[in-house]
Amino acid sequence: MSETSAIVLQARMGSVRLPGKTLAPIEGRTILAHCIERLRYRSGLRVIVATTTSSDDDVLASEARRLAAPVIRGSVADVLSRFILAADTFNLQTIVRATADNPAVDMDAPRRTLDLLERTGAGHVVEHGLPHGAAVEAMSCDALRAAGAEATDAGDREHVTTFLKRDRRFVALDALAPAAVRRPELRLTVDTPEDLEFLRRVYAFARADAGPAPLSELIAAATLVFEIEGGASVTGRR
């Protein structure tokens, strides 16, 4: 992959429902570590951690550097500006956006979405059908900067790509995830204490022999957790 492409992983400690979740441990490693490892593993891309200038995120920046991930720091609320800062700092032409509450992110998704973006010349690509918490988004930095210049709604600034997907001046493509990992009803993200405990149980059943467990193995482990515990919904909640 080109040095002008990178994965930008947005992360902060200030979650309302589960403060500090980004550094919560799963199988002896922080969620941030799982995210960085999985995003790097097959993509061939740098993972840049985009956090905030808040002192609460100093510890997160230290963990990212321990994991050999470059860090940029910007606005707490204006996440879009953090991505533009990453693009400008590292002279990027394309970005894959990921979030640091997804320790089961699909390792193959960055390459799939970025390849489609580059083949089509689209401004934005996202896959549908993956478990909640397994997808990423690819975008051109030209489109990102244009959105940054135009978007004024606080929601668009916070959620980064909503303006790109909504405004018809941009070409936004929806792709279908591969059938083997197409489980949109399955929840593999961490927003709450219940989510965290569920992912810990999933990971306990999905120890890979070498390298991080593929998403298909995590899906199989989640199914096993449901079968063993009985009564759990497919979302991982009772």
**pLDDT tens-place string over residues 44-92:** 999 999 999 999 999 999 999 999 999 999 999 999 999 999 999 999 9
**pTM here?**
0.94
Beta bridge partners of 132: 187
Does a structural domain hold residue 47? yes
Does a structural domain hold residue 15? yes
Total of domains in the chain: 1
Does a structural domain hold residue 166? yes
Rounded CA separation 40/169 (Å): 32
Note down the domain range covering 88.
Answer: 5-181
Task: For residue 111, give the CATH number of its domain.
Answer: 3.90.550.10
pLDDT for 32 beyond 70: yes
pLDDT for 208 beyond 70: no
- The confidence score (pLDDT) of residue 89 equals 98
CA dist 88 to 82, 83, 122, 141, 162, Å? 10, 9, 20, 9, 21
- Residue 116 is encoded by which pair of tokens? 């489609």
